[in-house]
Amino acid sequence: MRRNAAEVLERLRDHVDLLEESGAGFCLAGPGKPQAAGRAVPAGTKPAPPRPGAPAFRPAGGSGPHAPDDRDAAEIERQVRECRLCPLHRLRTLAVPGEGNWAAELMFIGEAPGRDEDEQGRPFVGRAGQLLRKIIAAMTFREEEVYITNVVKCRPPENRVPHRDEVEACFPYLVRQIELIRPKVIVTLGKTPTEHFVPGRAGMGELRGRFGDYQGIPVMPTFHPSYLIRNEGNRELRRMVWEDMQKVMSLLGRK
């Protein structure tokens, strides 16, 4: 019982922290901000194991209705780690295939690995990743319930935007991941992934907050967490991201 109460409190702290961070603090009643110290996922930390007593989720390659074959998932990861299809392989430390649940309902797609991700071979482990993981927690998902990846799997030099030919070389890996996972919703983070799923000339300001469609899967474009960090004082941006995520939660029956 005590452990359950601690878990509920922990989830509540995540949620409140995200509301604060997203500029949605106006939703919160009462003074003071709960301390979320220690809740960010530090670089190098592996995803937490399932908490005792937590609701069951479909494990990678597990028993869910669309659970893919472990061998397929492992084979994609192996191919990505050994891939030399575009010049980005020359400068990488580690390729970053993605991580999470291969039978996830919700999939997040970012642009490309950064320095921390390149060093660890894991997606979204730097500062932007910590914010994304807070957003995921605030959406009432555990990290091991979702799948997180990028459009390109190797770090572009100086974190530049990936070139079109690099994205085109890498995109088949992402297509295969989506085919295997078959998520109910995809969230694209920032312009690079969004323009490949919701084509057109519109900017993120117009595209965000409205579901697009990819092969029958709803796609919600929203701002990349690193953009929120670069515009740290802009609470309106955070409020917009939280609004977008609430639409995703609604579609998935999480609110």
Return the number of the residue (134 or 196) whose C-beta is nearest ligand SF4.
196
Return the number of the residue (166 or 195) whose C-beta is nearest ligand SF4.
166
Return the number of the residue (157 or 200) whose C-beta is nearest ligand SF4.
157
Between CA 27 and CA 123 the distance in angstroms is 31
Q: Tokens 């998935």 identify what position?
A: 252
Q: Please report how close the Cβ of residue 138 comes to ligand SF4 at its closest, in angstroms.
A: 30
Token pair belonging to 100 = 């999470």
Return the number of the residue (117 or 144) whose C-beta is nearest ligand SF4.
117
Q: Please report how close the Cβ of residue 80 comes to ligand SF4 at its closest, in angstroms.
A: 5
Q: Please report how close the Cβ of residue 224 comes to ligand SF4 at its closest, in angstroms.
A: 18
Q: Tokens 């996972």 identify what position?
A: 181
Q: Please report how close the Cβ of residue 150 comes to ligand SF4 at its closest, in angstroms.
A: 9
Positions in the binding site for ligand SF4 (CB under 6 A): 80, 83-86, 88-89, 95, 152-154, 166, 169-170
Q: How far lies 124's CA from each of 55, 147, 179, in Å?
A: 25, 11, 22
As beta bridge partners, residue 147 has 100, 107
Helix (H) or strand (E) holding 17: helix 2-21
Between CA 222 and CA 240 the distance in angstroms is 8
Q: In this structure, are strands 147-150 and 106-110 parallel, antiparallel, or unpaired?
A: parallel
Between CA 147 and CA 108 the distance in angstroms is 6
State the burial class of residue 87 (Cβ atoms within 10 Å of its Cβ: 0-12, 13-18, 19+). Answer: middle
Q: Please report how close the Cβ of residue 84 comes to ligand SF4 at its closest, in angstroms.
A: 6
**Residue-by-residue DSSP string for 148-161:** EEESSSSPPGGGPP
Angle between the 235-251 and 2-21 helix axes, to the nearest 10 degrees? 130
The secondary structure of residue 233, as a DSSP letter, is T
Q: Please report how close the Cβ of residue 235 comes to ligand SF4 at its closest, in angstroms.
A: 35
Return the number of the residue (86 or 181) whose C-beta is nearest ligand SF4.
86
Q: Please report how close the Cβ of residue 103 comes to ligand SF4 at its closest, in angstroms.
A: 23
Return the number of the residue (161 or 252) whose C-beta is nearest ligand SF4.
161
Return the number of the residue (88 or 138) whose C-beta is nearest ligand SF4.
88
